[in-house]
Structures are given as structure tokens and as C-alpha cells.
Structure 1
Amino acid sequence: MSKILIAEDDAVSRKFLNQFMSQFGSCDLVIDGYEAVDAFLLGIQEGDPYDLICLDIMMPKLDGIQVLQTIRKLESETLEGGRSRIIMTTALGETEMVRTAFDNGCDAYASKPIDTEKFVEVLGSLGIKSMKGGKT
């Protein structure tokens, strides 16, 4: 079972992602960038890092790009080998923001509202499979 962190400040989006992503693993929810970094660090300290992080770009206190940069830096300092897969989510369709996210190490990008069929395909390409079996 995958361990998933959902970092999303919008309650409706957070609830949707939690319900949708629960078929892929155990989900932890946070509402801002600082909480995302804290949860990520706790996972590393407990020896159980996140397999997947769904990270909203526009969050209060610390935005998704800053969180992405922090996570990738922490991984390079603390983890040997593997790293979390990170999917950036946003209502913004700005190509510059997408480029910045990929330049900083995100693995995929999803625009809101989330197209669940495409999202399942992206998850599959990242090695995240549904626990329901059958079609992923």
C-alpha cells in the first residue's frame, strides 16, 4: 500500500483528493506548506517516507514550489536512493509555473479540476496502483 501526502489548502479539493486517492493508499492531509514539510520530515524520521505527494502550487505560508524545493533538498541530504513522487496540482495553467515545477523536480502536473481518468494514467506511470485491483 502506498503512503500518500495530500497538501491542499482548499477544503473541497482536499476532500475530493482524499476520497479519490484513498483507493491508491493511506492518505495524510495537510493544509499549508509548513505542514507539508513537517509531515514529510516526520515520515523520514519514522523510517516511512511518503511514496507520493500531491502538492498544490498555491498554498498559504509556503507555496508548493518552495515545498517542492525543500523536499528535494531534504531527500538529497537524508535519503539514500529512492525519493517521493510528487504531482503538482493547481487551478493555474501558467506554462512558466509548470516549467518551474519540473525544473525543481516534480514528477507530474495536474490541472484542476482533476480529470480522474488522466490522473489514474499518471499515477500508473509513476508506479502507483489502485488497491481495488483490475483497471488502474
Structure 2
Amino acid sequence: MMRILLIDDEPIALTKLELMLTNVGHCDTAVNGVQATEHFVRSINENQPYDLVTIDIELPDITGLDLLNRFCDLEEKNGISPSKKIMVTAHSKVDYVVKSRKKCDAFLVKPIRKATLLEKIQALCSPASE
């Protein structure tokens, strides 16, 4: 089972994501950058880093891009292999895609379809890609 962190400030979107991923792994959820960072740091401290993180680009307290950079820095500083990161947005803003492309593994535009999400995850996390 994968360890997954879902970050979205819309409770409905978060619940939908969590339901889509119940068979994929254990999901922790966060509605803002502070909660997300607490989960992320705790997972590193407990030596159980996340396998997958979905990050909504627009959060109330931080941009998804800044959060993505923060997580990458934390992984690097702690010498752990990076989790797969999927950026999620309601807008297909090209500049965001370009800025986050180097650090994130995939990009999804809402509304997210379960089949699309699971395909992305399977492509990112299949043993062949390790």
C-alpha cells in the first residue's frame, strides 16, 4: 500500500480524491500549506515518507508551486528519495505547468476523472520506472 498525501483547500475535491485512491493506499489530507507541511515533515521524521503527493496549485496560505519547492527541499535535506508529485489545478495555466515541470511528475486539470488519475499513478509508480 502506498502512502499518499492529498492537498486541496476544497473539502469536496479532497474527499473525491481520497475516495478515488482508497484502493491505492493510505491517504492523509491537508487543506492548506501549514497542515500539508506538518504531515510531510512528520512522515519524514517517522521514516515513512510519502510515495505520492497531490498538490492543488491554489491554496489559501501558499502557492502549490512554493509548497512543491518546499517538499523537494525537505526531501533533499533529509536525503530521502523524492515522492511522486502531481500538481492539480482548476485552470490549465501554462506558466504554472512550465514552472513546476522540473520538480513535479505529472499535472492534472480539474475535474479529475478517476481513470485518468489512476493511469497517471500507475505510470509514475510502476516498478518499471524505478
- Calculate the TM-score normalised by the size of structure 1: 0.89
> How far does the alpha carbon of each residue in 1:20-50 deviate from its partner, in whole angstroms, 9 at most, with x for none?
1111000001100121111100000000000
Partner of 2:93: 94
Segment drifting more, 87-96 vs 114-123: 114-123
Partners of 2:23 and 2:4 lie apart in 1 by 11
Segment drifting more, 47-56 vs 116-125: 116-125
Partner of 1:115: 113
- Shift of the alpha carbon at 1:67? 0.5
Are 2:15 and 1:15 aligned? Answer: yes
Partners of 1:94 and 1:106 lie apart in 2 by 15
The 5-angstrom pairing of residues 1-136 of structure 1 reads 1-80=1-80, 82-103=81-102, 105-127=103-125
Partners of 1:38 and 1:63 lie apart in 2 by 16
| Structure 1, gaps ≥5 residues long | 130-136
Contact 1:5 1:53 in 2 (8 A): yes
- Shift of the alpha carbon at 1:120? 1.4
Percent of aligned positions that are identical: 30
Partners of 2:18 and 2:118 lie apart in 1 by 14
| Structure 2, gaps ≥5 residues long | none
SS, match of residue 26 in structure 1: strand
Q: How many residues align?
A: 127
Contact 1:24 1:128 in 2 (8 A): no
Partners of 1:8 and 1:22 lie apart in 2 by 17
- RMSD of aligned residue pairs (Cα, Å): 1.4
Moved over 4 A (4+): none
- Shift of the alpha carbon at 1:115? 2.2
